[in-house]
Structure 1
Amino acid sequence: MDDAPAGGTAARIGLYLLLVVVGALVGVAGALVQAAWFPGGLVLSLAGATGLFSVGAQLAGGRGGVGAPAAGWLVAVILLTTTRPEGDFVFGAGVGSYVFLLGGMVAAVICATIGGFAPPGGPSARLGK
């Protein structure tokens, strides 16, 4: 029933796992940068996350390419927001950290809904073509 070869499925799974790991790394890096150079660090960290989500969608050719790095990003960011027994945590209670959290989630949703995921060689959506 499935016309995809086994090597293609393994490559796709590998791509998604790589995107999850890179998403987690971008989340950790963004968490550190957004507070260090406010407001430029916040813009840089959100731009990095948005770029990763967009490139993931293009590499995977679908919305799963956005979901995989977004899941890694979200897990990393949520784990960094929890307090440790010593009372330390990475995120402060400032506006920048909330903008980073919500902005990254909004960026993932925008990249997933922006479209352009037609399979190559598929029918064109434009009329008259």
Structure 2
Amino acid sequence: MSGDRPSALAQPIRPPSAARIGAYLGLFVLGAVVGAAGALVQPGWFPGGLLLALAAEAGLCLGAARLLRSRAAAASAAGGWMLAVILLTTSRPEGDFLFAAGSGSYLFLLGGIGVAVICATLAPVRQPHDGPARLGK
């Protein structure tokens, strides 16, 4: 390392741009749409609907993470998915609810959370612009 140039790790973190914040909000809304659609599809064609709903969430989260090159993008899409699914699990005063008490619903809920965590973990992390070498030199 050169002595006159500060390390990339020592530089302050810049706030995200307006375009990046807009992208995160769009991914949040898209995650909510995918969660609501998955909640409707998963009981219809069991087990194919369940696999289709989980694959849609995985595609959204992993695609968002790779597109924006950050874990926050995957977390934003997963947050929208979780909000939609949680709002759909609450029962109404009339007694109506969307999720039945079956194994498919539990697999959708727990599997979707697992898919979100896996996709956020697999997301690339931004590296300093010093080169392709690993950080722990």
TM interval, short-chain normalised:
0.7 to 0.9
Matched residue, 2:68: 60
Provide the C-alpha distance between the structure 1 equivalents of 2:131 and 2:81, rounded to a whole number of angstroms. 34
Q: Which moved more, 1:112-121 or 1:28-37?
A: 112-121
Runs of 5+ consecutive residues of structure 1 not aligned to the other structure: none
Matched residue, 2:93: 85
Instruction: Give the structure with the higher percent helix.
Output: 1
**Cα drift, residue 51 of structure 1:** 0.4
Matched residue, 1:112: 120
- When the two structures are superposed, what TM-score results if normalisation uses the length of structure 2? 0.82
**Cα drift, residue 91 of structure 1:** 0.5
| Sequence identity (%) | 56
**Cα drift, residue 60 of structure 1:** 1.8
Match among 73, 76, 84 for residue 76 of structure 1: 84
**Cα drift, residue 124 of structure 1:** 2.0
**Cα drift, residue 116 of structure 1:** 2.9
**Cα drift, residue 117 of structure 1:** 2.9
Provide the C-alpha distance between the structure 2 equivalents of 1:43 and 1:89, rounded to a whole number of angstroms. 22
Structural mapping, 1:1-129, within 5 Å:
9-119=17-127, 123-125=131-133
- When the two structures are superposed, what TM-score results if normalisation uses the length of structure 1? 0.87
Runs of 5+ consecutive residues of structure 2 not aligned to the other structure: 1-11
Pair member with larger Rg: 2
- The one-letter amino acid paired with 1:105 is I
**Cα drift, residue 21 of structure 1:** 0.2
**1:23–1:72 Cα contact (<8 Å) kept:** yes
- The one-letter amino acid paired with 1:56 is A
